[in-house]
Amino acid sequence: MLAFVTGAAGFLGSHLSDRLLRDGWSVVGVDNFATGDPRNLREANESDRFTFVEADVSEPWTGWTTRLDSAQRVPDVVLHLASPASPVHYERLALETLAVNGLGTMHAVTFAHEAGAKLLYASTSESYGDPLEHPQRETYWGNVNPIGIRSCYDESKRFGEAYVTTAVRKLGIDARIVRIFNTYGPRMQAGDGRVIPNFCVSALRGEALTVYGDGSQTRSFCYVDDLIDGIVRLATRPGLGGRVVNVGNPDEYTIRQLAEITARLAGVPLHTEDRPLPPDDPTRRRPDIALARELLDWQPAVPLEIGLARTLDFFRLTR
C-alpha cells in the first residue's frame, strides 16, 4: 500500500509518515520546509519504503510527481496535511496559507481523482471560528470573521472543505475530511506561538509562563499519537467517502490549569505573565467526538499529564 503525505516534514505529517511506515505502508512524503524541519524525518528516512520530495504542493503536481518512479505515482491514499498551522506561521505566511489550502487542495483532488486514490484533507477546528455552540458537532456551521487576522487560515480551510466536498459530489472521488482540534506532542516547534510548546519551554527555562487574557479561556488538547490513530482510521476505513469527522480530545482545561500542570510536571514554581487576548482568539473550543466513536471506534487514550510529560522530555532533549 502506498500513501502520499503532504506536509511530511511537519509536526503531524512526520508522525503520520512514521506510523504508516510502522504499519507496513510505503510513503512518499512531500514538503517545501515552509514551516517543517528535516530533523522530523529522521525516523522515516531510516526506512527504504520512504521517499521524500522537496516541492511546493501549491504548484502543479505534474512538476514533482514526474520525479518519481512510475510505480510510485499511483498511491492508494493521498493525505493532504501541508499548511502552516500555528497563528505565528500563518500570519507570517498568510498568502502561502491561502494558496496551499486553495490551490494545493485543488491539485491534491485532481491527483487523487486521476490516480483513483482515496483523499484525506486535514481541516481544523478553526473552521468553527469562535463557536457559539459547545461542544462543536460536525453539523455546526461556525462563526468565522472572513476578513480578520486569522481568516487566511480559517477561510482557506473552509474553502478546502468546500472544494473537497464538491469534488465528492461532482467527480465521485472518495475523500474524507478530518477537523483536527488542538494537538500537541514531541516535534512541535519551540517558537511557534502555540500554548503547549510556549509553556514547556518557559517552564524548563524557569521563566514566567505567558497567559493571554485572564486564562479562563478553555482548550482541549489531544496527544499526537491519539490524533494520528484517528486520522489513519478515517483515511483507510471503507465506506467513509464524503464524511467530515472531528478528531480531538474533549477533556477541557483552562489555560491557567494548563499552566499549573506544566509547571508541576517540570518541577518548577508557577510564575505567569499576563498579556491581552489577541483578536479573534476563541474563548472556548471543545470537540464533540460522538461521530468519531461511532464511525472509527476511536477515542483518545493518552491523558494530558502523560502526554505533557512526554512533550517536556522532548523539549528537555532538544533545548
Chain positions contacting ligand NAD, by CB under 6 A? 6-7, 9-13, 30-36, 56-58, 81-85, 100, 104, 122, 124, 180, 182-183
Q: What is the largest CA-CA distance in the chain?
A: 57
Rg (CA), the chain: 19
Q: How far is the CB of 206 from ligand NAD (least distance, A)?
A: 27
Distance from C-alpha of 86 to C-alpha of 314, rounded to nearest angstrom: 19
**DSSP single-letter state for residue 240:** -
Q: How far is the CB of 267 from ligand NAD (least distance, A)?
A: 26
Q: How far is the CB of 135 from ligand NAD (least distance, A)?
A: 16
Name which of 102 and 268 has its Cβ closer to ligand NAD: 102
Name which of 264 and 299 has its Cβ closer to ligand NAD: 299
Q: Which residues contact 13 (CB under 8 A, 6 or more apart)?
A: 5, 6, 7, 29, 31, 36, 40, 79, 81, 82
Q: Nearest 10 degrees: CA dihedral of 133, 185, 31, 123?
A: -10
Name which of 2 and 108 has its Cβ closer to ligand NAD: 108
Distance from C-alpha of 304 to C-alpha of 308, rounded to nearest angstrom: 6
Distance from C-alpha of 159 to C-alpha of 106, rounded to nearest angstrom: 10
Phi, psi of 63, deg, nearest 5:
-60, -55
Q: How far is the CB of 5 from ligand NAD (least distance, A)?
A: 10
Task: Verify whether residue 163 is a known catalytic residue.
Answer: no
Distance from C-alpha of 44 to C-alpha of 81, rounded to nearest angstrom: 16
Q: How far is the CB of 97 from ligand NAD (least distance, A)?
A: 8
Q: Which residues contact 102 (CB under 8 A, 6 or more apart)?
A: 58, 156, 159, 160, 163
The neighbour count for residue 97, using CB atoms within 10 Å, is: 25
All cell numbers assigned to 188: 512541535
Q: How far is the CB of 34 from ligand NAD (least distance, A)?
A: 4
Name which of 20 and 100 has its Cβ closer to ligand NAD: 100
Choosing from 90, 128, 153, 223, the catalytic residue is: 153
Name which of 92 and 271 has its Cβ closer to ligand NAD: 92
- Residues making up the chain, counted from first to last: 319
Name which of 231 and 240 has its Cβ closer to ligand NAD: 231
- Residues with catalytic function: 153
